[in-house]
Chain A
Amino acid sequence: MSTDVVAIHHVSKIFDGGDNRVVALDNVSLTIAKGEMVGIMGPSGSGKSTLMTIIGLLDVPTSGTYLLDGIETSGLDRTAQAGVRNQKLGFIFQNFNLLPRLTALQNVALPMVYARVGMGEREARAKAALEAVGLGNRLNNRPNELSGGQKQRVAIARALVNNPAILLADEPTGALDSRTGHEIMALFRQLNREQGITVVVVTHDAEVGKQMDRIVSLRDGQLNMDALHEYYGINTDALGRVVTEVPHVG
């Protein structure tokens, strides 16, 4: 049993809109080990968002296999997919996607509602998660009463609350000013280092990319390491810790 949390083998995703056939992912293979902090980068249309939706079980590949924390995902029905999303994945979005009518506490408790966790435990765990991201004094505020950084912290607390195998963040700093963005990235780093949480961040921000252990670079639906330098000026040789090689695919 490997320690790979994500194992993607020869995955393609083709959007077939009649005359307009788009190959979003073209035979992509990659693995992400437990405890890694990985960036997925690439220009628009490179397929990075598609890759994220497939890793996040929000969409299914046209071909290829995907093992998530040892679970073969291709045979799962919609209900089972929902269960895996609930238990294994924690999503963080660029625009936070908090439910506006719910308080911070209720937003964070939501994944546990779908996990059928009892009310008392839900509240206790949601409170603990908010305290862990430094929002212990904002439990009963609604999203419109919070700053961007605070909203993203609520979203992170919500993503963590079911102890997922992966934190999956889609442009998490995209809607934040640079200082707040740094704070959020620091929080990811802290969660990754201190608690060993696997973090996958989709970004086109070079500053964010540089903070990753490893970068998966995409262009035109394929893994392409040259793109990193070309688009973001990230010098893969100079950055010793940025591993650009397509890793250990069996």
Chain B
Amino acid sequence: MWGEQLRMAWQSLRANTFRSLLTMLGIIIGSSTLVSVLSLGNALQGQVFERFIDLGTRRVAILPGDPDANGARVSSGYGLLSIKDFNALDKMVTTHPDIFRTIVPEVAIKVRARSGTVEVDSLVVGTGADYQKVQSVPLEAGRFFTLEEELDSDRVAVLGSLVTEDLFGKGVENRAKAVGQTIIINGQSIKILGVIKGAGGPFSSDQRILVPSGTARLRIAGNQDLPGRGLKMSSILLGLRTEGVVTKAEALITATLRDARNVPVGAIDDFKINSPTQALGILNGINSAITGFIAVVAGISLVVGGIGIMNIMLVAVTERTREIGVRKALGATDRDVLGQFVIEAATISLIGSFIGIGFAVALVLGIASAAGLGMILSIPAVIISLIFALGIGIGFGYYPAKRAALLLPIEALRYE
């Protein structure tokens, strides 16, 4: 019987090909939107995740506390980080090698850098040779500074791609040629060891000049010391062994820093711990929200498509009243007629969904191959879309089908 009803549905769709296609339009648009948005959203999420894995979800940043925070104590230089904090944390890192891999400071200084007659505003960041282990700074040319160069506070630097281009001109050759040249910062000649590959985005190192922390402190900054606390640091980065120890690490850091900074019991932390898992969570949250929103819009389109199907099925039932009468005279039960029209509606919806998915697959694979993303088609999205379309076909087909089923045979036969 099912096979027979499917065949009937197919015959009836073929009899009105153009109308059937128009009816499917809402479902086509809904399904293709759903599948392409969910696929691309997933891919984007994967991309974001990969980039974070790159520079380590295994990293924690300590940032200054907010002096305006509710519960902040009134004290001069509240929240600022210094080398005292760094040393306390360094000791903690040494005693917990199972949790921490490394620790590096970030001493940020706004400067004007000059090469020949070209001058640009930039940010010098003094850090350690281990910086590469906690921050994604892939080099395009040259090399990073070594531990020896760090300890000696040598006049060496690694440049971000944009700074390099501002100073030496655009293009990969110009950037490569910068290696080995010298730039002037605050009257100091500093030799360029390497250039960082451009990453884009506000959190990248594109605009930065990385130097050993001692170089920043002694040769560039002048006096950056906090009264009684030593060198001021903009942040401290800690590398973790695995992602699994983030919570443990945060607890250790909190205890260590509260102790080192004499934060009284009950007072709020006067520093911030920023783990990339949070950032990752926020980014993924935003991505999910956008994906979810578009998916809801696609879902609405599917529902609207369903209303279109209901509309056309009501028309079909009226048009085919006589046919229904004949079928009933020949022995079709109410259920037979109900089934025939529900299956017809479900068939329209499913075929529409298949067409929509076809478009989505073409679009997604096109984008994937253009962007070199590999296989990103979301199979769950395809399945969800098909199930949703089937449900919509059955749901919105039911009422017209019920009307057909309840027609009295004699009245249906006499219908003109």
Contacts and interface: CB of A to CB of B under 8 A. Distances in A.
B322 interface: yes
Interface in A72-116: 78-79, 82-83, 85-87, 91, 93, 97, 99, 101-102, 110-111, 113-116
A158 interface: yes
Contact of B330 (A79, A91, A101): A91
Contact of B326 (A78, A83, A97, A101): A97
A58 interface: yes
Given A59-B410, A97-B413, A78 B334 contact: yes
Contacts of A59: 408-410
A74 B332 CA distance: 19
For chain B, the bracket of interface size reads 20 to 34
A82 B326 contact: no
A82 B410 contact: no
B332 A82 contact: yes
Contact of A110 (B1, B330, B408): B330
Contacts of A86: 330-331
A65 interface: no
A82 B334 CA distance: 8
Contacts of B330: 85-86, 91, 110-111, 114, 158
B6 to A, nearest CB: 12
A99 B12 CA distance: 11
B352 to A, nearest CB: 21
A153 B1 CA distance: 26
A149 interface: no
B329 interface: yes
Contacts of A172: none
B336 A91 contact: no
A53 B331 contact: no
A56 interface: yes
Interface in B296-333: 322-323, 325-333
Contacts of A97: 322, 325-326, 329, 413
A82 B323 contact: no
B223 interface: no
B326 A111 contact: no
B19 to A, nearest CB: 14
A83 B332 CA distance: 8
A144 to B, nearest CB: 13
Contact of A99 (B326, B335, B336, B408): B326
B124 to A, nearest CB: 81
B15 interface: yes
B334 A87 contact: no
B329 A56 contact: yes
A188 B181 CA distance: 110
A78 B333 contact: yes
Given A99-B323, A101-B11, A101-B12, A87 B413 contact: no
A111 B336 CA distance: 12
Contacts of B332: 82, 114
29 contacts: A53-B410, A58-B328, A58-B409, A58-B410, A58-B413, A59-B408, A59-B409, A59-B410, A78-B334, A79-B334, A82-B328, A82-B331, A82-B336, A85-B330, A85-B331, A86-B330, A86-B331, A97-B322, A97-B325, A99-B326, A99-B327, A101-B11, A101-B15, A111-B330, A114-B327, A114-B330, A114-B336, A158-B330, A162-B331
Interface of B: 1, 3-4, 11-12, 15, 322-323, 325-336, 408-410, 413
Given A58-B329, A78-B334, A119-B3, 9 more contacts: A82-B333, A82-B334, A91-B330, A99-B326, A110-B330, A111-B331, A113-B4, A114-B327, A114-B336
